[in-house]
Chain A
Amino acid sequence: MTSRNQILLFSIVLIITSIALMSYKVKVLNFPIFQEETTNIWNIEAKISFDSKKNQSALVSMILPKKQDGIIIVNEESSSADYGFTKRKLNSTNKGVWSKREIEGSQVIYYSIDIIKDKYYKANLEAEPIEVETMEVPSVMVQAANSLLNKIYDKSSDSLTFTSLLIKEFNLVQPSQAAKMIKNNYMKTAKEKRDALVQLLNKMQYKVRTIGALYLEDKQRNIVLTPMLEVFHKDKWYLFDINNGLIENSSEIFIWQRGSQFLLEAEGVKNSNVRFSVTKNIVPARNAALSKDLKNQSTLLDFSLFTLPNESQNTFKLLLLVPLGALVVVIMRVIVGLKTSGTFMPILLSMAFIETSLIPGIMMFILVVTMGLIVRSYLSHLNLLLVARISSVLIVVVGIMAFVAILSHKLELEYATSITFFPIIILAWTIERMSIIWEEDGSKEVFLQGSGSLIVSIIAYFAMTNSVLSFITFNFPEVLLAVLGLIILLGRYSGYRLSELYRFKSMVK
């Protein structure tokens, strides 16, 4: 294989790898491509409150939610000052148990979970035994129920249509006599209504279970679990709202509890109850993707920059932009053919511009270099050794920078001190080299190379401060592979430079 083909293959492999990694992160891990994308993290908080009983130790247990399809639990935590907290699993039900030996006065325990909706998420629960709950229908209700149930049975075809019609029956403005009687006596609260519905469905030998759930709506405070029910049909459970019937889209609902056990059990305390609050937090989709994936233990993210501490993350945010600057330099050199003084001086300059902001940065650069050149032209008369002369220029540069900072501070220009971000050694060398160019090739060449460097660094500055680009490089560091591939490709570009099209113009007649 010729070296040309090798390079072509190598860079194409790099670019494809980078694109593949990126699309994996976007498609599977739901990384956002644009910064503006946000996701909702829902925070559900259970507030358990109770009062102490004299000389009794407290033992409070609450049913905790299980995994469910379409919703990922990214964080679960209990905040309860000095309560012992353990999790237990009893008959496939998760329970949180809080305990404390001595308590006094009213107590509050918080248990909060953060969830993200993800329609592709599968909970992978072990096949649960189909627990059917049975509730005896009170004998007083039987009479009324029988006629109602028979009527609906005739109109329905299976358990689902039956349940829907039953719920509808109680919603009618003018329900039948039987329905009215049941509604008035047995459906005073939502919980009673649910239980009554379950009893009626039981009577028809349908498989039913009770549910305590929360609608995911923002800013809900002090609410209780909404009673719902699930009806078995063929091989699946279907969720029903007791007022609205079959729920088609269960992504708006978070099921906290299945089964009719008590949500909260407490020993040694009194007046215990649980209230919930639901809050929607808008977070950048990246954070969500991250916390989601730390749960899923994706190895790709185990080695990502996000595992670093915040401080070094910020350093890398800047470092990852340097390859972009390098790409700009390569393009400007190889494709455009701009002359710069020092190959990578423009990158350092543009990094300084990031700190100082562009216009003040350019002005300060021109000021420092001009003053430096004046001082340097005097130094050249002193006949110094090169190292000593550059060091003198270095000190002069520091002096000029201090002077500019003080002056602009006195003039109340806000960017006063940001001048310190200029790379002084690079500036000293730039001044030295420019003054040599001045002596050797004249002022025109100094102007050419100086403005060439400035143009390249301004373009690099725009590339490096572009929010889309910086967002992509930090979130998808694998883009560097593509940049590398591109630079390698450009390294074999043997076509004309833009400047040569101008240079050789006279040869084309």
Chain B
Amino acid sequence: MFANPFKLKKLGILGMNDRNINYIGKHNDRKNFPLVDNKLKTKKLAQKHGISVPKLLGYIQYQVEINHFEDYIENQNGFVIKPAQGSGGKGILVIVKRDKDKFIKPSGEALDYNDIKRHISNILSGLYSLGGRNDVAVFEKLVDFDDAFDGFSYEGVPDVRVIVYKGFPTLSMMRLSTSNSDGKANLHQGAVGVGIDIKTGKALNAVQFDRPIKLHPDTNKNLKELVVPFWDEILHLSARCYEMTNMGYLGADIVIDKNLGPLVLELNARPGLAIQIANDIGALKRFSLIDTLKNSNKSLEEKIAFSKENF
């Protein structure tokens, strides 16, 4: 039923308490959290630093503006509405296409104007944000995702999560949506996590609901065959997110657009632990290797080179 804690320690597996005290608490400065927690701020900051992100269509801050939401999506076929301060993928509404007055979700479910308005209203009331604070609804262009993932993802945008520790890309996984996860890429909602080799961008291992799997549950595609394109660019992008936010323990979520290449979808100051299961690698081993480096004032290129060599 339970694993031996000493064996887990030996494998270098990072636990929740350890993560909260020794990684988030120590390396992530509280004052930088809003940069990461607020997706609107992240997006603006990224644009300033020249980091590519999905196009911002607009945002709604007050309830009275809700009726004009169409202004933002006029020429868009697919779009995403998300709360700026949502956590754990809560409140993200993905619309893949429009059919006359209907908005079609990845599952094929059709929503009408009122459903969209209610969703925006909920976001503004703070239903999805931490502590119920009033929030902002952010509209962004739907990513036209790359063909490389055809058959690996079911009704949703697959993304790459890279854990960046002190600027070193340390662990990585691909998050693939399933019918369970309703087009979302959050593992606790049922998405599949595929560990990705930092060196090559190739699949290592896959999990769903914290248990290893071999095939995608909806498409039956062999997950080991997955190869992430633009791998070097993804590593660069993630390492630059560290320089942008100064968060020592950061999760960067990156999507690959067919036309635009890798884009930073969002950043996470409290990345989860499932990535270890997806990689079948304990994070602590890699973190402590980085900690032993005497000179951590390396350039971005040197850090990436170090990661590629050692992980």
Which residues of A come within 8 Å of B, CB atoms? 334, 337, 383, 385-387, 436, 440-442, 492-498, 500-508
Contacts and interface: CB of A to CB of B under 8 A. Distances in A.
A93 B4 CA distance: 77
Interface stretch (B17-25, B51-59, B159-167): B17-25
Contacts of B18: 494-496
A385 B125 contact: yes
Interface in B198-244: 207, 210-212
Interface stretch (B115-123, B141-149, B253-261, B301-309): B115-123
Interface string B117-141: 1100110011110001000000000
Contacts of B210: 503, 506
Contacts of A492: 21
B233 to A, nearest CB: 30
Nearest to A389: B125
Contact of B11 (A337, A383, A502, A508): A508
A486 to B, nearest CB: 15
17 contacts: A385-B63, A436-B127, A440-B189, A441-B188, A493-B17, A494-B22, A496-B5, A496-B8, A496-B13, A501-B4, A501-B8, A502-B1, A503-B277, A506-B211, A506-B277, A508-B7, A508-B11
A507 B22 contact: no
Given A386-B122, A494-B22, A507-B277, 7 more contacts: A383-B114, A440-B90, A495-B18, A500-B8, A500-B15, A501-B5, A504-B13
Contacts of A502: 1-3
Nearest to B7: A508
Contact of B117 (A383, A436, A442, A508): A383
B280 A494 contact: no
B130 to A, nearest CB: 12
B15 A496 contact: yes
Contact of A506 (B2, B126, B212): B212
Nearest to B117: A383
B2 A501 contact: yes
B24 to A, nearest CB: 12
B276 interface: yes
A507 B17 contact: no
Contacts of A386: 121-122, 125-127, 132
Contacts of B282: 507
A66 B132 CA distance: 70
Contacts of A441: 188-189
Contacts, number: 90
A504 B3 CA distance: 7
B11 A334 contact: no
A501 B3 contact: yes
Contacts of B207: 506
Contact of A497 (B16, B89, B118, B122): B16
Given A337-B16, A387-B125, A494 B21 contact: yes
A334 B127 CA distance: 26
Contacts of A493: 17
A508 B121 CA distance: 46
Interface residue SS majority, chain A: helix
A383 B277 CA distance: 40
A492 B121 CA distance: 40
B277 A334 contact: no
A367 B121 CA distance: 30
A502 B5 CA distance: 10
Nearest to B190: A442
B17 A497 contact: yes
A495 B4 CA distance: 12
A493 B17 CA distance: 7
A504 to B, nearest CB: 5
A467 to B, nearest CB: 33
Contacts of B91: 440
Nearest to A445: B188
A163 B102 CA distance: 115
Interface string B161-197: 0000000000000000000000000001100000000
A8 to B, nearest CB: 14
Contact of A494 (B17, B122, B212, B273): B17
Contacts of B63: 385
B2 A505 contact: yes
A385 B15 CA distance: 39
B3 A505 contact: yes
Contacts of A498: 2
A501 B273 CA distance: 13
Nearest to A498: B2
A385 B118 CA distance: 8
A492 B22 CA distance: 9
Contacts of A503: 210, 273, 277
What are the 6 closest A-B residue pairs judged by CB atoms, nearest first?
A386-B125, A501-B2, A494-B18, A496-B15, A383-B118, A505-B3
Q: Which of A334, A494, A496, A507 has the most chain B CB within a 10 Å cutoff?
A: A507
A508 B90 contact: no
Given A385-B121, A436-B127, A493-B17, A504 B276 contact: yes
Contacts of A508: 3-4, 7-8, 11
A62 to B, nearest CB: 72
Contacts of A504: 3, 8, 13, 276-277
Nearest to A337: B16
A275 B57 CA distance: 100
B121 A383 contact: yes
A17 to B, nearest CB: 25
Contacts of B3: 501-502, 504-505, 507-508
Nearest to B20: A494
